[in-house]
Each structure stands twice: as C-alpha cells, then as structure tokens.
Amino acid sequence: MQNLIDPAILFFIFGVLAGTVKSNLEIPPAISRFLSLYLLMALGLKGGFALSQSGLTANVGISLAAAVGLAIVIPLIGYTILRRFVSGFDAAAVAATYGSVSAVTFVTAVQFLENQDIAYGGHMAAAMALMESPAIILAVVFANSLRQKAAKGAVASVDGTPAPKNGVSVGKILHESFTDGAQLLLLGAMAIGMITGDEGKSAMQPFSVDLFKGMLAFFLLDMGLMAARNLPQVKGKSPVLVAYAIVGPMVHATMALGLAFLLNLSAGDGALLMVLAASASYIAVPAVLRYALPEANPSLYFGLSLGITFPLNIVFGIPIYVAVAQGVLM
C-alpha cells in the first residue's frame, strides 16, 4: 500500500479519475513528448554514472543476455497461444506489444527502488533498450509468413503471374528500431554518463536527480488520462484477450524471476527484469505496427496494453514484483 501514497502514483490515479469523468484536462502532445525524452535522458545518465563506477562486468553481460532471451521467448509463447483465439495478424501484434517493454513502467520501478533504498545496476537501462526490438522483428516475421501463405493460396492474376507479396523488410524494421530517437537518446545519455563519471554526476545533479520525481509525476498524470481514455476500447473484446492482459504479465514476471534466480541476480536487478518482462509497449511497438501490420486491429493491442496492463503494473505490479524479488533473491 505504500506505493499508493507515492505522489507520482497518486498523480497517475488522479489522471485516470479525470479521464474517467471526461474532464477537459490534457497535457499538450509537445509537452508530453518532452517529458518522455527527459525521463529517458535522465534514466540514461543515471545508468551511465552507475556503470562508470561498477564497470562492464560478467554479471552485466549475463543480465543483458537474460533480458534479450526473455524478449525473444515471451512473444514466441504469446503468438503461439493467441493464434488459437484471434487472427494471426492480431496475435502477432498483441504478442509483440507484450513482448516489448514500457519505458515509463521501468522508470517508475527505478524510482520505487530508490525510494526503498534497494540497489540496482545501471546496466538495466541498457537491458530495457535491448528488449524493445526483438518482439517487433518477430511480429514482422510472423506477418510476412502469413502474407506469403495467403499469396500462395491466392488465385493467380489474368496473365498468370503470381499474386504480389506485400511483406515488410526486416532490415528496415531493424534500422528504424536502432535509430529511433528515444532509443538513441537513452543509449547516448548512458554513454555520456559512463564517460563523465562522478564529475558529470555532480554537474547534472540538479537536472537528472532533483527534477526527476516532479517530471515523472507530471508524465504519469498524462499517462493516467491516456489510460482512462483508452479503457473503453477494451469493452467487447474477447475475455481470453482481457485475461491475457492481466495474467500474461504475471506469467512473464514469473519467468523473469526464475531466470534471475538461476543466474543469481541481485534483488534490485531481478525486480527490474520482472518489471520489464511484465510490461507492455504502448508507444514504440504500436507506432511501428500501424504500418508494419496494417491488417491488425490497433484498438486491440493498444487498448489492452494501455487500458489494462499499464495501470495494473503502475499501481499494483511494481510493489508486488519488488517484494517477491526481495523474498526470493536475497
């Protein structure tokens, strides 16, 4: 319950309530975009400063490898299960959404750990960046496979040439994933933090530390408004999909906990790995899927992730994952 009296979480809940009563309160898109970039930059700097002290150790490599492994396994499992209940394209889109990560959920979890004085590795910010792309690539592979099967079954055109295949290039998706502005800002800030070390940390203290809590609260207010306005999209959806949006993250977090236990990760790193595995993307993946998988229904994957999973993780999931990680990994 301590999480519920945190100002940032209360602003999120306030945003949900304001959106539910259809208030005209809103954060201009440009300001919302700035807040998002600020949080990523501050998070990258924090991670870089921490890495400048700890260095790139074997444990860091193991944690990053575990994160990438989860980012591949989770969408594969999700697609296999969901294809039994929805179309292949919708299954690929939802699996990609839940196989990727939410930066805001991760940032909120980092703040929660700091409030509880629980140590964590700065490299976990890099883990977040690495976990964003594999699910998108897999979704494109799934979609291209479905299109090829459809093309083979299509009737040939009048002149006898095969029907065209409207696949999306995996190379193009890779390029856009790794050159995305938010991704580059996070990794660039981390590199700058590593290079500048303690001197950079002191210089950036007013920006990356003192302002962080307030900026996070403001951004979570906006996220609360968005969550409330996207919740109606979930109405009428299959109970199986709604159950997946609730139970799936818990299963994914359990997978991450088991992996953290086997790899002997710290409680802080294990908790963040659980948060990453349990989160679902509502910005990067939907933006790519709109043109990479136009056959999928955006209200399905966007509504589930932002309307159900994101609020549950922010309000209840993070403190539960941290408590479980402390009990199992310490």
> What is the predicted pLDDT for the residue at 158?
43
pLDDT of residue 146: 84
Give the number of other Cβ atoms within 10 Å of residue 166's Cβ. 13
> Which of 63-77, 157-171, 237-251 has the weakest average pLDDT?
157-171
pLDDT grade for 164, boundaries at 50, 70 and 90: very low
The per-residue b/e assignment along 60-98, b for 16 or more CB within 10 angstroms, e otherwise, is beebbebbeebbebbbebbbeebbeebebbbbbbbbbbb
Residue 96: name the closest of 296, 230, 242 by CA: 296
Lowest mean pLDDT among 31-45, 121-135, 140-154: 140-154
Cα–Cα distance for residue pair 18/15, rounded to 1 Å: 5
Confidence class of residue 232 from pLDDT cuts 50, 70 and 90? confident
The pLDDT, as a whole number, for residue 159 is: 46
DSSP string, 211-267: THHHHHHHHHHHHHHHHHHHGGGGTTS-HHHHHHHHHHHHHHHHHHHHHHHHTT--H
Q: Which residue has the higher pLDDT, 2 or 277?
A: 277
Least confident among 92-101, 246-255, 282-291: 282-291
SS3 86: coil
Write the DSSP string, 290-321. HHH-TTS-HHHHHHHIIIIIHHHIIIIIHHHH
Q: Which residue has the higher pLDDT, 113 or 182?
A: 113
pLDDT at 291 over 60: yes
Average pLDDT over every residue of 26-40? 88
- Report the distance separating Cα 49 and Cα 237, nearest Å: 45
Q: Determine phi and psi for 55, rounding to 5 degrees.
A: 80, 170
Cβ neighbors of 153 (< 8 A, separation 6 or more) are: none
The more confidently predicted of residues 158 and 292 is: 292
Above 50 in pLDDT, residue 161? no
Which pLDDT band holds residue 163 (cuts at 50, 70, 90)?
Answer: very low
Sequence-distant (≥ 6) Cβ neighbours of residue 293 within 8 angstroms: 89, 92, 93, 139, 140, 143, 168
From 66-80, 116-130, 279-293, the region with the lowest mean pLDDT: 279-293
Domain ranges, ordered by start, for the chain: 31-148+168-329
Task: Round the average pLDDT of the chain to a whole number and report it.
Answer: 84
- Residue 201 φ/ψ, nearest 5 degrees: -65, -45
Which pLDDT value is given to residue 95? 94
Rounded Cα–Cα distance for residues 299 and 138 (Å): 20
- Label residue 157 exposed, middle or buried (CB < 10 Å: 0-12, 13-18, 19+): exposed
Stretch 224-250: mean pLDDT, rounded? Answer: 85
Burial 224-263 (b: 16+ CB within 10 A, else e): bbbbbbbbebbeebeeebbebbeebbbebbebbbebbeeb
Check if CATH label 3.50.50.60 holds for domain 31-148+168-329. Answer: no
Residue 87 has pLDDT above 80, yes or no: yes
Pick the more confident residue, 32 or 317.
317
